[in-house]
Amino acid sequence: MTRVRALFACAVACGLMMAGPTAAISQGARSPQALAKVKIVNFAFQPATISVPKGTLVGWKNFGSVGHTTTSDDGRWNSGTLQPGDIFGVRFRVAGTFAYHCEIHSTMHGTVVVT
């Protein structure tokens, strides 16, 4: 379990280097108050819609066999290509509904609802 957390923190830190924080969300390697997980499997986000309280770190892991992205529809975050086994996280600090998609596969869509 410790190794998984360390790998997740490393992946989130790498995401921070690619895109800085915004007012609504931030990417960082802080220890999460809460953690929610989304799997990328068979060209779909599972679950497609996830509801979380403010302050939650949402992590995506690619369980598929090809690369995918998690990219917000409004440009707040972009994971870059996540190869099979890669992980990426975003901490949601304000309430709202945040739609996202895979830039590589246009049929893949998801939503994070923050309360």
Beta partners for residue 99, in sequence order? 111
Taking only the tens place, the pLDDT of each residue in 96-106 is: 999 999 999 99
In what helix (H) or strand (E) does residue 50 lie, and over which residues does it extend? strand 49-52
| Predicted pLDDT at 33 | 63
Domain spans, the chain: 2-114
C-beta of residue 61 within 8 angstroms of C-beta of residue 89: no
Q: The tokens of 32 are what? A: 């999460």
Does domain 2-114 match CATH 3.40.50.2020?
Answer: no
pLDDT tens-place string over residues 39-71: 999 999 999 999 999 999 999 999 999 999 999
- Does the global pTM surpass 0.85? no
Single out the residue of 3, 5, 109 nearest to residue 57, CA to CA: 5
